[in-house]
């Protein structure tokens, strides 16, 4: 399976990290379940993928509101990250996206725009041997409004010195695609893990 890019002479590529460059959504969900089970919170896989791209503390606050809980967002997010780090040795890149990272590296600027913390993004990219390929990282806690707001992508475009309309966004989640559209950027949707698996069978 290859990604079909929209037409255009793009001057920068902006990549989401989890589920886009890193095939990390399944282990992230396992980490979420472990952390939330300790709190008596429920979190379905459907909810998890629907909230892709949102910072962890925002997800926890939403679950608090929906389930009448009083979880400490920062503490639960930290616990979830600890569980995720345990899975890093098995992490792989998404092949269909890695192809474009390698092709673009050194030709045009490329950046990561993530709803995960910088620590988590750096850990994932370091595991994959890709950290040095990216010219900029924009991560949770570094912007005021997360996806689906356009701010993270606009920050990345400014960091790499490319106009928003000349950027192409690679995203797997609806909030990220909405953010790209709001930023006036072209985008390509990265298939979910089960879609990629079905395409190879």
Residues serving a catalytic function are 16
Residues β-bridged to residue 137: 112
Query: What DSSP string describes 15-52?
Result: E-TBTTTB--HHHHHHHHHHHHHTTT----HHHHHHTT
Angle at 82 (CA atoms; ends 81, 87), nearest 5 degrees: 90
**Residue-wise over 121-145: b if at least 16 C-beta within 10 A, else e?**
bbbbbebbebeebbbbbbbbeebee
Q: Measuring CA to CA, which residue among 165, 100, 164 is closest to residue 134? A: 100
Q: Which residue has the tokens 């969900």?
A: 29
Query: What DSSP string describes 38-100?
Result: TTT----HHHHHHTTTS-HHHHHHHHHHHHT----HHHHHHHHHHHHHHTGGG--B-HHHHHH
Q: Measuring CA to CA, which residue among 77, 81, 90, 103 is closest to residue 168? A: 103
């Amino acid at each position: 399976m290859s990604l079909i890019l929209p037409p255009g002479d793009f001057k920068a590529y902006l990549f989401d990290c989890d589920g886009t460059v890193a095939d990390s959504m399944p282990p992230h969900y396992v980490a979420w379940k472990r952390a939330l089970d300790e709190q008596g919170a429920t979190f379905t896989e459907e909810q998890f993928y629907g909230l892709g791209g949102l910072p962890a503390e925002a997800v926890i606050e939403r679950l608090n509101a929906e389930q009448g809980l009083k979880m400490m967002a920062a503490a639960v997010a930290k616990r979830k990250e600890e569980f995720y780090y345990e899975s890093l040795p098995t992490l792989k890149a998404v092949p269909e996206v890695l192809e474009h990272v390698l092709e673009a590296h050194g030709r045009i600027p490329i950046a990561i725009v993530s709803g995960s913390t910088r620590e988590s993004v750096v850990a994932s990219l370091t595991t994959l041997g890709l950290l040095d390929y990216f010219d900029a990282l924009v991560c949770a806690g570094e912007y005021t409004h997360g996806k689906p707001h356009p701010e993270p992508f606009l920050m990345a475009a400014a960091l790499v010195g490319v106009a928003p309309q000349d950027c192409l966004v690679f995203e797997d989640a609806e909030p990220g695609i909405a953010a790209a559209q709001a930023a006036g950027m072209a985008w390509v949707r990265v298939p979910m893990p089960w879609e990629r698996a079905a395409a190879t069978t």
